[in-house]
Amino acid sequence: MKLSACKQLNRNGNKVNRLIYLALCLFFCGHALSQMPDTAKKTYHFSGTITATNNGISLIPTFSLGKPAAIFSFSMGSKRLSFDPEFRFALDGKPWSMIFWWRYKMVKANRFSFNVGAHPSFVFKTINAVSNGVPKDMIVANRYLAAEFVPTYALSRNITVGMYYLYSHGIDEESVQNTDFITLNASFSNIKLPGELLFRFNPQVYYLKQDGKDGYYLSSIFTLAKQRFPVMLQSIINKTIRTDIGADKDFVWNASILYYFNNNYVRHR
């Protein structure tokens, strides 16, 4: 039993080491490539989305907060390399999660693109504890490291298909140690409706595996926007096909309002 446990610990340790190495390579290689002079001027961006929702839904949509939430997502950087932090809170003020993405656009061809990313993250939960004999609620954080790989192919200007793969490793013993999240997805954007309204539809089917347990799911994101207007309406739905992951819910949905801003600026060399 001890030998088996040691082998499993070594395997998990190797995965963490590979993940950390990958994250460092993505950052330093991306940063180096982004500094290579390709034109006389360089474009940078700072953008963000502020979301209020009746039910906070995770990046893996079968998992949800189960109550109203606010999400603050930002992106800053150049055309290829960006830092994309995300802060999620319940509307009662308690933190839900904090994710610190570094993303790099490795390939940007006529129709095909391939992006990679890596992040450390913190997922918070409230536990019951006793301090000096007095019961009280305490907020604790579980730490994760993750990497993503995102190939996408454009069938037309407004229709794309692609895959998404995320591997996440929990650093703390009580957290999920290994997560594999693989999707087949599509995007149908700029569907014109009356009154300068635009509709976007993002369906996906995905496979999820966590510490030996797995499942299959269907989900979709529906977005309604107005041209040249920064406020959007959005809804996410998720349906379980088959699973043996105990924390899953058979059906998850939410409705959200989003405020989006985008600022680009050019630095001359």
Q: pLDDT tens, position by position, for the chain (269 residues)?
A: 434 434 444 455 555 555 555 555 655 555 555 455 554 567 889 999 999 999 999 999 999 999 999 999 999 999 899 999 999 999 999 999 999 999 999 998 889 999 999 999 999 988 887 777 778 888 899 999 999 999 999 999 999 999 999 999 999 988 899 999 999 999 999 999 999 999 999 999 999 999 999 999 999 999 999 999 999 999 999 999 999 998 778 999 999 999 999 987 666 55
The Cα 216–Cα 185 span in angstroms is: 14
pLDDT recorded at residue 4:
44
**Predicted pLDDT at 3:** 42
Give me the sign of the Cα torsion angle 194, 261, 87, 145.
Answer: positive
| Cβ neighbours, 10 Å, residue 76 | 14
pLDDT given for residue 2 in this prediction:
39
pLDDT (0 to 100) of residue 21: 54
Rounded Cα distance between 160 and 186, Å, is 6
Q: Note whether 204 and 184 are within 8 A (CB).
A: yes
**Percentage of residues of the chain with pLDDT beyond 90:** 69
Res 23: pLDDT: 54
Q: Strand 213-226 vs strand 231-243: parallel, antiparallel, or unpaired?
A: antiparallel
The pLDDT score that the predictor gives to residue 20 is 54
What pLDDT sits at residue 130? 74
CB of 204 closer than 8 Å to CB of 220: yes
How far apart (Å, rounded) are the C-alpha atoms in residues 112 and 89? 35
Helix (H, G, I), strand (E, B) or coil at 68: coil
Burial category of 85 from C-beta neighbours within 10 Å (exposed 0-12, middle 13-18, buried 19 and up)? middle
- Which region, left, alpha or beta, applies to residue 133 given φ > 0 means left and ψ of -120 to 50 means alpha? left
Phi-psi region of 135 (alpha: psi -120 to 50; beta: other; left: phi over 0): beta
Place of tokens 């790989």: 149
Q: Is 6 helix (H, G, I), strand (E, B) or coil?
A: helix
Summarize pLDDT for 169-188 with one digit per residue, the tens: 999 988 899 999 999 999 99
**Model's pTM, two decimal places?**
0.83
23 contacts 238 by C-beta, under 8 angstroms: no
Task: Check: CB of residue 222 under 8 Å from CB of residue 235.
Answer: yes
What value does the CA radius of gyration of the chain take, rounded to a whole number of Å? 20
